[in-house]
Every structure is written in C-alpha cells, then in structure tokens.
Structure 1
Amino acid sequence: MATPHAGRLSGRRVASVRTLIGAVLAALLATLFATAPAQAADGQITGLAGKCVDVAGANSANGTAVQLYDCNGTDAQRWSNPGDGTLRALGKCLDVVDRSTADGASVQLWDCSGGANQQWVVTAAQDIVNPAADKCLDVRDNNSANATRLQIWTCSGGANQKWNAPASGGGGNPSGFVVSEAQFNQMFPGRNAFYTYSGLTAALGAYPGFATTGSDTVKKQEAAAFLANVNHETGGLVHIVEQNTANYPHYCDWNQPYGCPAGQAAYYGRGPIQLSWNFNYKAAGDALGLDLLGNPWQVENNASVAWKTGLWYWNTQSGPGTMTPHNAMVGGAGFGQTIRSINGSLECDGRNPAQVQSRVDAYQRFTQILGVAPGANLYC
C-alpha cells in the first residue's frame, strides 16, 4: 500500500520505518504463535508449541504410542480424516487404550475396528473429541517435550487440547441434512441398528421446515436439539419401545370415539420420542397418512415411520409447553422450551433437574459435534 507523501521521506527514514514495521510484525506473529497452534499442513495434526501428533518410531504395530514430537514431514505424522469419524496414520486408527473413557487414558495406533474408542470429532473450536468418553485429545501434563504421550481428558479449553487437523475427506453430505452420517454415528455410538440414518433422512420430507429454517447456526441447533431429546427419550437410540411393560395397558383412552381398535395394551411408547396413547397414534397417523391407530406396530417395525412420528411431535405438538419444539428453536426461545414441550410437566420448574441436565448435556455435546454454539436459555 502506498504511503501518502512517501516520496518526501529520505532513504534513511524509509529504511528506519521499514525496520520498525518489520519489528512490529515479528512481535505480533510471535505473540500469535505463542498462544495458538500452528496451521496443519500435508495431513499433519499440530498443537502445543507447534509440534505434531506423531506415531512413535513410525511403527505401525498395534499398541504403538501416539505422542507429541517436532514436525518432520514423515509418514508417522501424516494423518487422514476420511469422513467416517476416524483419524488414520500408517494405515491404522487413532485408538483409546482398552476402550477406556477415563481421564488419563492413553491413545495408541491400532487396527481400525469401527469401535467407539476410535471415533473422533474435530470441532470448530479446534478440539478433537472422543464422543464415547466425551473427552478431548490432550497432551499429558501440558508438556511440550518431544515424546510426551497423548491421552484423553475432560475438555478444558487449554492450549494442550487445541489442534489443527486435516479436513474431512468424506466428500460432503449427500442427504442434504445438516447432520452427516458420520456425525450421526458419533452422536450415537451405541445405537440400536433399527435407528438408521437412512430412515431419518427418508423421514425428513414429511416436515421440510425441520432443520432447514433460518441461518446455518439455527438449522444445526435445531437438529442438535431434536437429537438430544431423542437421545434422552431412548437411552442413546437404544430403546425402540417403552421398557416398563406394566404401563402398556394404561395408554388407551376409551373416551375417544374411535376407541382402541388395536387392543387395550397396544399404544405404549415407541420410536425416538416414545409416541404413546391411542389419541396420539390417531393424530400422528392422520397427519402422516398412515393407519397408526389400527396398526401401531408400524412405529417399531419401520425406521422411517418411527422417525416420522418423532418429527410429527417436534414440528406440530406443544405438549405441556406453549410452543412446538420446532418453533422454540427457530424462534429463539431456546433449548429449554423444547424440554418443556416434550416433558415439562414432569421435569421443568425444578421438578426433575437431573433429567433436564441429561438433555442439556446431550444438546451441548451434539452442538459441539456440529461446530455451533448452543445458544441461550438451555434450561426450563
């Protein structure tokens, strides 16, 4: 950039100014790189003191330690992020020893197995998180010396947990949903095979406004909010049907003119938001063009139908709240109001804070996976 009246400066003064500017820039760069990890290059994962995540001795044997080391450009420091939730070097996966979820569990290189201890999320905040443990990749004792072992530890935001990692090679998300299949699998590492990602994406067409309304942040927040409540209702997408079978006969309201044609005990909780009661099966079926009153078992036998019932409640029902969960998220009321609309009469206003906290914890975890802030008003 030209300096006004630069031609009036003597050569000596120009040199002096250049020297001063150079010194200022050098000081600024030194400050920046003292507080932030260096940028990743060529598949390196860089972190504390600008050093690299390194496979000890470039050894590809199972159980080889993963450590911090001066960056040297070798294959021992070349990591790929193929889009399936793994981080790979030398043909193997970054792995938590013994599938541990405890603070201080070391990481190692191991044959890729698809296990939850080999799943990692590179967040927008530069954390590398193992969702199964809900912990961050961490440099032991905040020690930047070569050969310091890496581990998992409760996420603290410290410099020893900040990384620059290669971008995912997964090639985007063909479904168009703001949650990719890899992210979905990271959210639900122990899910029941019934709850398929394809079933969820097939159901999205029933409510096209879901997770497509507002800014990119709002879209991701809504998806995270829905899935966090689903996580709580189903124990991490494990339970397809209500576990307390003693409750099954209680969900038939004979005061309804259509009664309970599938039987007194046929309307128990099913699906991702545990649809229950004959009148809810009737209303959901009418909205979706399905005979759920006559055949409620569709919800436990067809993944897409199950997901559609969850989306039906989310987008159209207020429950004990004052707004639908969809409107709560896109209107800015916050995650707490989605809890109120789903189970507020039993959980909100101090009735069951542990249950509320469970939902909030899942929501914060899922927004982290999606790389967005959770927003305000998390509690009800």
Structure 2
Amino acid sequence: MLPAANASTSDTQITGLAGKCLDVADANSANGTAVQLFFCNGTDAQRVSTPGDGTLRVLGKCLDAVERGTADGTSVQLWDCNGGPNQQWVVNEAHDIVNPAADKCVDVRENNSANRTRLQIWTCSGAANQKWTATAPAGQTADDTTPQNADFVVSEKQFNEMFPNRNSFYTYSGLTAALSAFPQFATTGSDTVRKQEAAAFLADVGHETGGMAHVVEQNTANYSHYCDPNQAYGCPAGQDAYYGRGPIQLSWNYNYKAAGDALGIDLLGDPGLVQNDAAVAWKTGLWYWHTQSGPGTMTPHDAMVDQAGFGQTIRSINGSLECDGKNPAQVQSRVDSYLRFTEILGVAPGDKLSC
C-alpha cells in the first residue's frame, strides 16, 4: 500500500507497471525534468517523500502537472514546490495517485512498460498502468517494519549455507536490495520454478566467482584487453578499466555501457561501482541473467522459467568455452553446485542439467 500523501513518512520507492519505478529522468532536479517509468535501482531519483502537505517530492522538488493542466495526457514533471493545485496528490485504497484539481490519475503513457516512458494524468480507469505500490528503497524497510523482498525464496540462512566462505562484499542484503531492479527474478511460475531459478543463478555466479571469493577478475594481464575502441563512446574510465567485476564478472566497455543504461547508473564512466557497491554488483549479475543470451539462444531467466533446463543457463553464460564437450569438468562443477543448492532449498532440480 502507498503511504498517504498527507501523511509524513520516510522515503519510499513507488512501483507500478511491470514492477518498474516512478523515476526522475537522469536524476536531474531541474524544473521541467520528466517523471517517467524506469527499472527500480534504489537511486535518489526514485526516492519519493511525503512531507504531509499533499505533495510527493523527489530530489527536493514536487511532482507537478505541467502548466497546471487538467486534461487527459498532461505530463507529470518535477518543479519547485509552490503550493499549486497541480502539485497536490491523494493516494487512495485502490492504489491510485489522484490529482484532485483534475480528478485524474497518474498514468503510464500508452500502457507502455519500456524504460523512460513518460508519466501523465488521465481519467481514472482502474487499469494496471494507473496502479502504484510503495516499496522500500535499497537499505531501508517499508514503514520501518516490513522487510523488502520478504518473499525471496532464499533465506539469509540458506544463502550463508550456500556460500560459507564467500568474500564479505557479497552480502545477502546487497542481493535483496538488487531484486527490485528485476522483480520477475525468482517470482515467475510455480514455487518449484522460482526456487530452481534462484538456485541456478546462485550456482552460476558462484562458479564465476570461485564460490563468491573473487569480486574482480584475477588475471590482471587481461585488464587492458576489454576496451573496444570501435565503440563511439570509447573507454572514458581508461583503457584498462573494464575488466571482469561482480557476480557474473561484467567485462568490456560495451557491456558496462549496456548494463549501466538499463540500470540507470553510469557504469561506463564509473565502472568501479561494480566492485565497490554490493547492490550494484548484484544488479549487473541480474541484468545479464535477464537480458543476455551470450553464446546461447535464450536468457538464463527464460531457460529456467520455460524449463529448458539448467544446462541452457551454462550455455548462455559460457557455452562457447564449456558446452558440447569443450570443458566437461567445468560444466559438472556448475551442475554439482546447482544440485547442492536445490537440495538446500528443498526442491527437485529438474532435468536437462548439462549442455
């Protein structure tokens, strides 16, 4: 449930269509900045405060209906708080955010769940693109009592059992804080499928990081090889700055650019965030899991949800070097971890485990 706009609360994230967040474009606090839908990323651009005066505020400014408009399709923007009726919002029990002056709801334009889709006001219809729910930002809890991601299928105790000797950087809290960026992770399908997906992801990232012992690529001689000069944006952080980091060892300037763009974080300019911020690191692993097929034919997420089998996640992550008999020992190592993790979670592993 959303906090009422006339009640004083701590900051929240507000999630809507496709589990994405109400977001201020590019974390820009200038008057007129677009308010949009974007992957939840825990940044200040998605921290909404309700100071008790009927306003909703981000980055110290108010959500505002452009030019005090009341017509369907009037855009929502960020603006200096001025007490105007176009900056008043009422949150109701139906999870609508209503502007009383217009008697209209905050609405995701054209029911489009793509990142950067503009928010507007529209006649309240009860449609999914007008429904909003408060969740806790990374590192906080909703209403200070309800843990964020309380329904994650892996408990902290189970996570610790899976990785008893992990590097302290890979925190359980960092993982759960990252889940809001990909709300479909380990929440799609039956309880069995959800647990299988979590076990598969953790088995693959455990393999990539030596049991979560390594935050960065260990072969420093490779560091200078990951800058593709053919990309127009180049390598602004330096020729040797795009080496493997994090749970799936994100590498190459173009992958830092793509992951950063998807997450709303400047990883091309500041790749070190992946080794210095646990939530960011986990988000890059989840980004690959949900969006990249690598040398395979499907994303690892789709492989588990569509029951193509754990073997297809291996193919999508490192199939060109491990699958089809290229390195059976490495494949078996991943399978062994997956089998151990499914046992910890109390779920059958399914079939098609190898590639």
TM-score of the alignment, normalized to the shorter chain, above 0.5: yes
Counterparts of 1:258 and 1:309 in 2: how far apart (Å)?
Answer: 20
Q: Does 1:225 align with 2:192?
A: no
1:73-103 Cα deviation digits (max 9, x unpaired): xxxxxxxxxxxxxxxxxxxxxxxxxxxxxxx
TM-aligned CA deviation for residue 173 of structure 1: 10
Counterparts of 1:289 and 1:313 in 2: how far apart (Å)?
Answer: 15
Matching residue's letter, 2:300: P
**Secondary structure of 2:154's match?**
coil
Aligned CA distance change for structure 1 residues 190 and 173 (closer, same or farther; 3 Å): farther
Match of 1:275 in 2: 250
Task: Tell me which of 264, 267, 270 is aligned to 1:295.
Answer: 270
Match of 2:162 in 1: 187
Aligned CA distance change for structure 1 residues 188 and 253 (closer, same or farther; 3 Å): same
TM-aligned CA deviation for residue 175 of structure 1: 2.4
Match of 2:215 in 1: 240
Q: Does 1:201 align with 2:176?
A: yes
Q: Does 1:317 align with 2:292?
A: yes
TM-aligned CA deviation for residue 209 of structure 1: 0.5
| Alignment map for 1:1-380 (pairs within 5 Å) | 175-380=150-355
Counterparts of 2:167 and 2:173 in 1: how far apart (Å)?
Answer: 14
**Secondary structure of 1:260's match?**
coil
**Secondary structure of 2:251's match?**
coil
Aligned CA distance change for structure 1 residues 194 and 368 (closer, same or farther; 3 Å): same
Poorly superposed stretches of 4+, deviation over 2 Å: 172-175
- Contact 2:206/2:212 (8 A) holds in 1: yes
Counterparts of 1:359 and 1:274 in 2: how far apart (Å)?
Answer: 16
Matching residue's letter, 2:284: T
- Contact 1:173/1:180 (8 A) holds in 2: no
Matching residue's letter, 2:211: G
Counterparts of 2:152 and 2:216 in 1: how far apart (Å)?
Answer: 26
Percent of paired sites with the same residue = 80
Matching residue's letter, 2:214: H
- Contact 1:241/1:271 (8 A) holds in 2: yes
CA RMSD, aligned part only? 1.2
**Secondary structure of 1:276's match?**
coil
Counterparts of 1:223 and 1:248 in 2: how far apart (Å)?
Answer: 30
TM-aligned CA deviation for residue 276 of structure 1: 0.3
TM (norm. structure 1) is: 0.54
Decide which structure has greater helix share.
1
Matching residue's letter, 1:319: G
